[in-house]
Structure 1
Amino acid sequence: MMKLNIFFSFLTVALVCGCSQSTYQQKSMKNVGFPSFSAEAHRGGRGLMPENTIIAMQNAMTMDHITTLEMDTHITKDNQVVVTHDDYLSPGFMLTPEGKEIPKSDAKKYAIYQMDYDLLKTFDIGTKVNTGFPQQKKVKTFIPLLSDLIDAVQADINTKGKKQLFYNIETKCDVAGDNVVNPTPEIFVKLLMDVIESKKITPFVVIQSFDKRTIQIINQKYPGVKTSFLVSNKKTYEENIADLGYKPFILSPNYSMVNAELVKKAHADGVKVVPWTANTTEEINRLKSLKVDGIISDYPNLL
């Protein structure tokens, strides 16, 4: 009987501690203040550095006004969460492990979802000139694991006494790509959130997507996590929110969609507006005059 009482005592303590920790985490997440203006380095600032790389994020961190690191995620064949945008390795700005061009005829040969990470990381994403971004510094580098990128960013924050930045993380997936170039949304979300939670950065994360399924799952299963709905269409504000089925923390429209009416309606709903991807001083100033809540740009130095 004594052993049984001891067992139940331990069980009670464990449950109380578990509930306390969960409550603490929820309170901590609510107490974290999102930037009053989210200045976001798109893909780490691909106008200046190789996109979606650790060195790009570290370069953006040297700019005191930058509050948020924006990035894309895919899943590899061996279920690793990697930071990269395209479904396939791009012949436009990547080289083989031997430093050779990827023939355009092989453009669909290297699907991220069909490659183990050990192979993927041997390709060079930083040496070949990206003609769309002539200012981009050329440095031999690779597609990183999300976990390694977070470790590098947090190490910079801790060792150099920098401010804590937010992570705006996109899930790159869609219905047509399910089980072809991306896992199903349930699997994608589970793998992504496992990394985020293991690194204890959840309060500083926004999950964004054009694929409403992933952020709908986040909203349902991880209600304390901020979500952002990416849109590029001719729908009204009301139509996009109705399509999503709930009011996200952020609506992130193509910058050309943003006008005073959209911002007014979003703010009336308590929804922030963070447009993408504004790359000129003129467009950035126009958006700021409309009182948007942040801007995503390839040129974080202009924000």
Structure 2
Amino acid sequence: MKKHLASIAFISLACLSAFAQKATQKFPKFDTEAHRGGRGLMPENTIPAMLNAIDLGVTTLEMDTHITADGKVILSHDDTLNPLFTLTPDGKEMSKDEAHKQALLKMNYADIAKFDVGSKPYSKFPEQKKVKVHIPLLEAVIDSVQQYLKAKGKPQVYYNIETKSKPGGDNIYHPAPAEFVKQLMEVIERKEIIHYVIIQSFDKRTIQFLHKKYPQVKTAYLVDIQKSVNEYVTELGYKPYIISPAYKLVTANMIQQCHAQGIKIVPWTVNTSEEIAALKALGVDGIISDYPDLLEK
């Protein structure tokens, strides 16, 4: 009986320890983020890109999300199909006009998944490996990543998930903020990754709503206009976990201002070794890059 009780106690302690570790998932000391999964090397916002980034040792997978007509959360930077790297279901190229008529919010996921977003050469990223692949569901990305981490014995990564929205696009290209956040968080909570998620956006409305509704979730404010850190915080109405500026906006003073307020600074999108080294020397807390292979050098 004593042995039985001791076994129960041991199992209980182990479960509590695992829960505590999960609940206190530490943010990386220096955050290396694969932008859109590392689109310099693999087709952007796809499962192969995310798994490749894991192999390269990044601490965070950065990705963009949209919502489909049938309420699915998918990975895509663009509001519509992108003709620069998308082929039709029968393998043909798309004109700009044809592609831009295909708003993802107006399409069901089954139809979106028929398009190939990895086979067409993408001149902006000549080193990108060509793989026939489709726009994935966020939940499929999470499942694939978590299974891959376990199979490879890799440490848990963070997910930095952007809500692709702007005030003029509500109910045209994306749901209004409350609905967008609701659908995104349903996936995050169901997949139990809330302890290692950051939600980022240029659209302050989505992260403001998220901060009120889910204050335990880390948020990042994406910015591309030079202002003081106090101005960013004031317009947002709270202190985000991260301020994520276009990298050319970063100065030693901006970093000092962020750190003085307990805010991390993780700039985007930094694609040369020289710029990465310079920003590290200034004291940023992480870097987002299309070339995750450069981040570990």
TM-score by length of 2: 0.92
Aligned equivalents of 1:237, 1:103: Cα separation in 2 = 42
Aligned equivalents of 1:146, 1:41: Cα separation in 2 = 16
Task: Quote how far apart the aligned CAs of 1:39 are.
Answer: 0.2
Task: Quote how far apart the aligned CAs of 1:292 are.
Answer: 0.4
Q: Which residue, 126, 130, 142 being the options, matches 2:122?
A: 130
Aligned equivalents of 2:179, 2:244: Cα separation in 1 = 24
Corresponding residue for 1:6? none
Task: Quote how far apart the aligned CAs of 1:43 are.
Answer: 0.3
Corresponding residue for 1:165? 157
Corresponding residue for 1:278? 270
Query: Mapping of 1:38-57 within 5 angstroms?
Result: 38-57=31-50
1:277–1:298: 8 Å Cα contact kept in structure 2? yes
**Secondary structure of the corresponding residue to residue 55 of structure 2:** coil
1:121–1:144: 8 Å Cα contact kept in structure 2? yes
Aligned equivalents of 1:71, 1:261: Cα separation in 2 = 28
Q: Deviations over 1:194-221 (max 9, x none)?
A: 0000001100000000010111111111
- Tell me if 1:184 matches 2:196: no
- Tell me if 1:150 matches 2:150: no
- Tell me if 1:77 matches 2:73: no
Aligned identity (percent) is: 56
1:232–1:257: 8 Å Cα contact kept in structure 2? yes
Q: Deviations over 1:41-83 (max 9, x none)?
A: 000000000000000000011013x100000000000010001
Amino acid at match of 1:56: A
Aligned equivalents of 2:112, 2:121: Cα separation in 1 = 20
Moved more, 67-76 or 97-106: 97-106
Corresponding residue for 2:189? 197
Cα gap change, 1:155 to 1:25, in 2 (>3 Å): closer
Aligned equivalents of 2:22, 2:202: Cα separation in 1 = 24
Q: Deviations over 1:92-130 (max 9, x none)?
A: 111100100111221321111010000000000001111
Q: Which residue, 95, 98, 105 being the options, matches 1:113?
A: 105
Task: Quote how far apart the aligned CAs of 1:239 are.
Answer: 1.2
Corresponding residue for 1:5? none
Task: Quote how far apart the aligned CAs of 1:238 are.
Answer: 1.6
1:209–1:229: 8 Å Cα contact kept in structure 2? yes
Q: Which residue, 144, 166, 169 being the options, matches 1:174?
A: 166
Corresponding residue for 1:255? 247
Aligned equivalents of 1:69, 1:212: Cα separation in 2 = 21
Amino acid at match of 1:92: L
- Tell me if 1:265 matches 2:265: no
Gaps of 5+ in 1: 1-23
1:28–1:203: 8 Å Cα contact kept in structure 2? no
Cα gap change, 1:195 to 1:78, in 2 (>3 Å): same
Q: Which residue, 83, 90, 94 being the options, matches 1:98?
A: 90
> After the TM superposition, which segments of 4 or more aligned residues of structure 1 sit over 2 Å from their partners?
24-30
**Secondary structure of the corresponding residue to residue 100 of structure 2:** coil
**Secondary structure of the corresponding residue to residue 61 of structure 1:** helix
1:266–1:273: 8 Å Cα contact kept in structure 2? yes
Aligned equivalents of 1:193, 1:27: Cα separation in 2 = 21
**Secondary structure of the corresponding residue to residue 185 of structure 2:** helix
Aligned equivalents of 1:26, 1:265: Cα separation in 2 = 34
Corresponding residue for 2:219? 227
Aligned equivalents of 2:18, 2:227: Cα separation in 1 = 37
Gaps of 5+ in 2: 1-16
**Secondary structure of the corresponding residue to residue 48 of structure 2:** helix
Aligned equivalents of 2:99, 2:73: Cα separation in 1 = 22
Corresponding residue for 2:133? 141
**Secondary structure of the corresponding residue to residue 271 of structure 2:** coil
Cα gap change, 1:51 to 1:113, in 2 (>3 Å): same
Aligned equivalents of 2:223, 2:148: Cα separation in 1 = 32
Aligned equivalents of 1:239, 1:51: Cα separation in 2 = 32
